[in-house]
Structure 1
């Protein structure tokens, strides 16, 4: 009998919901049991802004340590939190089918972005969202916020009973709201034409030790669980981010789709104040991981040639 697989997860409500879905799917594919291993990360215990506490990786490092220390067999991450560099001894063994990639506005009184009065306060912890919000509505007051989904929702006036209600709206990932059953609080889904998502948004990464990605029942279940169109899309998006040497705190969005045997990748680089936006598209018929990576690199090079480093304050060495 295959022993129960230990599945590492952050302890937030969203992380537990996502991880349980992954664990149940893997268990069904491999016909084995599972147990959840809760791990506290820097991003969970430190409420400072992401740029202050390290940006990319603050939600990931402790889970990876738990994997390498054999305290769990697999770890589940929100893919947009995962650093683009390789982690020695670990591999992303499965990227399940992606959920909604869009950002969502949750506003008081059912308001849309266009309907928010001048000077309204909108909360987000993402420089990418903040920059694109400022580009679309420079008259709004964008407030930097942290906290879990329910904590953020409670800050919108009238949205959650007992909340402080000190904001007019917040912007969150539609996928997370849906996974938590909070989609009824969404007042507008923000189209990618208005706000490109973070690379990997809406997708999950299932990581294991490289030595375990072999021929076991567990490894076979991981391979079955992998969704190739999603893996190709997020590979292209993350290749843009890696070439730009940018992390989750950079005002950069990217979104790829695979349709009709073609991968279409779009990316945007913004100045923090939203005053300058640079948007480019790349298309490839090479539907391999290498082809998706190349498309991302080519698009990043186009962005750099058009002044992306200066616009977004990226490294001068790019």
Structure 2
């Protein structure tokens, strides 16, 4: 954005979901910055490969192509699903904003109105997430968990065609596609079914350095302090444990009544073991700085407790106590 009337180029993955969530955010930023917006679809290795996510090496397979385009100057900012973003900082880039989070829950989309409790023994449930697979095996070891890839419609089609009895998806994604009212899925509550760190949230990534004033002000306007703090707490657990997508970890943080609460659970891949840690901190204020300090505090304590509880003995973690 050099010229006053230059279009703001926003990079995104090309899936229907990515385009839907990016367009909504880009339009907000463009309106605040007083600039037209161009959406730049970018194909990543994670989009073209049919291998499982864990074998591909984790969440970075979706972020790397977007980041390369941003660093090359092909776009001015990129929009990530925060759960797809590696926890480590990327040289030359920074998170410019974390907008208000959508619903962080998972949902079960099953045939014939079935629920997780009423699926018959041996029912085939699809997911590409090691965390969801471990949770399914923990709660319903009698189910057959099927590793799947593909976009939302591809996954739902396998249920409609009878190949699968159900799939587990993110409520936020279905909501952004306008599908929740059509499907009437079962919402899996976070207290019993914690989701991926950062699920339901988006991250706006920009190049480091002096940003265009209008863009910087627009990003500041859409940043949500509570979302920034809660997702930071969840993702800091991943970073402390040095865990990637092959590690079945669920984490949920909330800011409530002046406290920041964090609960994190590590599962064994087969779902037979798990360890949970819950901690709270009182931020000195609700400023972004103090909220992030509280997030770092609870994440550090929870991580140490998870490791002390034996998480590294049964889950693929690299962290040490």
After superposition, residues 123-162 of structure 1 pair within 5 angstroms as 123-156=126-159, 159=160
Query: Residue 315 of structure 1 corresponds to which residue in structure 2?
Result: 318
Query: Residue 214 of structure 2 corresponds to which residue in structure 1?
Result: 217
Counterpart Cα distance in 1 of 2:210 and 2:76: 8
Q: Does 1:281 align with 2:286?
A: no
- After superposition, the Cα gap between the structure-2 partners of 1:23 and 1:316, relative to the gap in structure 1 and judged at 3 Å, is closer
Query: Residue 122 of structure 2 corresponds to which residue in structure 1?
Result: 119
- After superposition, the Cα gap between the structure-2 partners of 1:317 and 1:232, relative to the gap in structure 1 and judged at 3 Å, is closer
Query: Residue 177 of structure 1 corresponds to which residue in structure 2?
Result: 174
Moved more, 71-80 or 204-213: 204-213
Q: Are 1:80 and 1:248, in contact at CA under 8 Å, matched by a contact in 2?
A: no
Note the C-alpha offset of 1:212.
Answer: 4.2
Counterpart Cα distance in 1 of 2:69 and 2:294: 33
Note the C-alpha offset of 1:317.
Answer: 5.0
| TM-score normalised according to structure 1 size | 0.95
Counterpart Cα distance in 2 of 1:3 and 1:212: 17
Q: Are 1:105 and 1:186, in contact at CA under 8 Å, matched by a contact in 2?
A: no
Query: Residue 202 of structure 1 corresponds to which residue in structure 2?
Result: 200
Note the C-alpha offset of 1:311.
Answer: 2.2
Matched residue SS, 1:8: strand
Note the C-alpha offset of 1:267.
Answer: 0.4
Counterpart Cα distance in 1 of 2:316 and 2:203: 28
Query: Residue 38 of structure 1 corresponds to which residue in structure 2?
Result: 41
After superposition, residues 158-169 of structure 1 pair within 5 angstroms as 159=160, 164-169=161-166
Query: Residue 243 of structure 1 corresponds to which residue in structure 2?
Result: 240
In the TM superposition, what whole-angstrom CA distance separates every residue of 1:177-221 from its partner, at most 9, and x where no partner exists?
Answer: 1111111214300011221000000000000001144x6111110
- Give the counterpart of 1:305 among 304, 308, 311: 308
Counterpart Cα distance in 2 of 1:174 and 1:165: 22
- After superposition, the Cα gap between the structure-2 partners of 1:2 and 1:249, relative to the gap in structure 1 and judged at 3 Å, is farther
Matched residue SS, 1:223: helix
Matched residue SS, 2:61: coil
Aligned length: 311
Note the C-alpha offset of 1:3.
Answer: 1.5
Matched residue SS, 2:137: helix
Query: Residue 256 of structure 2 corresponds to which residue in structure 1?
Result: 259
Note the C-alpha offset of 1:250.
Answer: 1.3
Moved more, 204-213 or 144-153: 204-213
Note the C-alpha offset of 1:242.
Answer: 0.2
Matched residue SS, 1:292: helix
Q: Are 1:111 and 1:187, in contact at CA under 8 Å, matched by a contact in 2?
A: no
Moved more, 242-251 or 64-73: 242-251
Unaligned stretches of 5+ residues in structure 2: 284-289
Note the C-alpha offset of 1:294.
Answer: 2.3
Divergent runs of 4+, >3 A: none
